[in-house]
Structure 1
C-alpha cells in the first residue's frame, strides 16, 4: 500500500473516485432518462453527475493539470498538443452496461505523462472494488482495506491453454480469426467475458491471458485500465504496429489493440 504516486495523493484520488461512484449508484437505483449524443452513444444523468464530482476534485486539488473527459467539451488539438501531463477521465465507462443494469460499469481516471498512462484508477461501484495501477510502483486490486498486488503472468504465446477476454456469442470476424490462429498453434482456448474497462483488468489480474480488442474505443475508455495493465507488467499494443497505445493524439480514437 502506497500513499502517493507521480505526485498524486492516492487516498484522495480513491476517495473522489468512490464519491463519483456513489452519485452514479443513486441514479442507478431509480428510473432515469437516456439521451443519445451525436455519435449515437448513450448518455445518462449518472455520466454527468459522476463527471461533476471528478471535475470538482481534480480542478480543486490539481489546478495545474489539465483534463480531458468524455463528458467535457472537446478541447482543440492546437490547445492540448503540447501537454506533457494531463488527466484523462471517463466518469461512467460502460453506459450500455449501466442501462442494462448488469453492474459491469466503472469510473475511470488516468494520469497521462508524455503520452503514457502512468497512474490509473478503475472503480466498480456495484462491488466497491478498485483496480489501481502506478507505473514504477505496482498494481493492486483493492477491496475494503485489502490491497492485493497484481503480478506479471506468462505471455499468452508461451501457454498451452489461453484464456481470451471475449464473448463467445459475440465474436467479431477479426477476433474469430485471432482465436483460430491460437487453435492452429495447438493451444486450447477458453473465453472470459466482462464489461467495459474491466476487460483490461482481467488480464492485469492474471484471470485472463489476452484481450484482443478489434473494435472502436476512445482514449478515455482505455487510459485508466491501460495504466493498471502496465503497472502489473502487461502491455497494451496496437494490433497493426505492435507499439504501445499512445495518448493525446489529434484523433482520440484508439487503433485496434491487444492486451497481452
Structure 2
C-alpha cells in the first residue's frame, strides 16, 4: 500500500508542476485565514482523493481543501489526512519549496506518511517505524535522524515568529536555514538538520505526514510547553482539534 500512496503523491505532484510551469494565469482565492489557495491545490486534491478511494474505499478522507464539509466524529479511528499542496505561498513565489502530504491516522496517531516535493523530485515516506528517502534519481534508502554538537535550526520561510529567537538565545552554538513546507520534516528525518521549532498557527494536515516520517526515523515531534512534553494529537473531536499547539521537531 505504501508504494501505491507514493505513486499517488507523485501523480498529484506531476499535476501541480504542470500548473507551476504553465503560461496560463494561476487562479488564486483566499480562505478565511487569508491563506491562498490555487487551482493547483484543487487539482491535486481531486487526484489524491480519487486515488485513496480506489485503494481503501471504506476509509474516510480529511483534506485541507474540504474542511468546510467536515462532520466531526469521534468514531473516525482510521482516516486519511492530506494536504494536497503544502506551501502554497512558496508555490506562488516559484522557489520550489512545496510538497504533497498524505498520511494515514489510526487511533489519533499517524502510522503512514508520504511527503513528495515535486520540484526537486524528492520523496520521503514511512510505515511501521521505518523511514525512507527516494532521491531525484529514484534511489531509495533508509533514513534516520542525526544529532550534532552544533545543531541546525530550520525556520519557516513564510511564517517567522519572535519566540524562535528566544529559543535560539538558549543555545550556545547553532546554524540556521530557512525552508518552506513539510520539507523541514524531511530534512530532520534524514539528518540534514536537528531542530525545527514552530510557533503560531498550524493545522494537523500540515504535520501528520512529517510526524510519521520523523518518528520512524528516530526523532521526536512534541508540544512546546514549560509544563510537559506531549505528542501531537490527531483525534477528530471538534473544529479546535484541527489546530496544532506550538511544537518542536527534534532529532
TM-score by length of 1: 0.88
* CA 220–170 in structure 1, closer or farther in 2 if over 3 Å, else same: closer
Between the aligned partners of 2:44 and 2:176, the Cα distance in structure 1 is 32
Count of paired positions:
241
Task: Quote the offset at 1:152 in angstroms.
Answer: 3.4
Instruction: Say what the alpha-carbon RMSD is for the aligned residues.
Output: 1.7
- The equivalent of 1:5 in structure 2 is none
Between the aligned partners of 1:216 and 1:126, the Cα distance in structure 2 is 26
Between the aligned partners of 1:62 and 1:151, the Cα distance in structure 2 is 29
Task: Quote the offset at 1:169 in angstroms.
Answer: 11
Between the aligned partners of 1:211 and 1:28, the Cα distance in structure 2 is 27
* CA 182–171 in structure 1, closer or farther in 2 if over 3 Å, else same: farther
Equivalent residue runs for 1:56-135 within 5 Å: 56-72=50-66, 73-77=68-72, 80-135=73-128
Equivalent residue runs for 1:121-160 within 5 Å: 121-136=114-129, 138-143=130-135, 144-154=137-147, 159-160=148-149
- The equivalent of 1:6 in structure 2 is none
Between the aligned partners of 1:173 and 1:13, the Cα distance in structure 2 is 37
Task: Quote the offset at 1:200 in angstroms.
Answer: 1.5
- The equivalent of 1:210 in structure 2 is 195
Question: Which moves more between the two structures, 235-244 or 96-105?
Answer: 235-244
- Whether the 8 Å contact between 1:135 and 1:230 is mirrored in structure 2 is no
Task: Quote the offset at 1:11 in angstroms.
Answer: 2.0
* CA 199–152 in structure 1, closer or farther in 2 if over 3 Å, else same: closer
Between the aligned partners of 2:44 and 2:156, the Cα distance in structure 1 is 28
Equivalent residue runs for 1:230-245 within 5 Å: 230-240=215-225, 241-245=228-232
Structure 1 unaligned regions, length at least 5: 1-8
1:42-98 per-residue CA deviation (whole Å, 9 max, x = no partner) reads 010000000000011111221111111001143122xx2221111000000000000
- Whether the 8 Å contact between 1:217 and 1:253 is mirrored in structure 2 is yes
Structure 2 unaligned regions, length at least 5: none
- Whether the 8 Å contact between 1:168 and 1:191 is mirrored in structure 2 is no
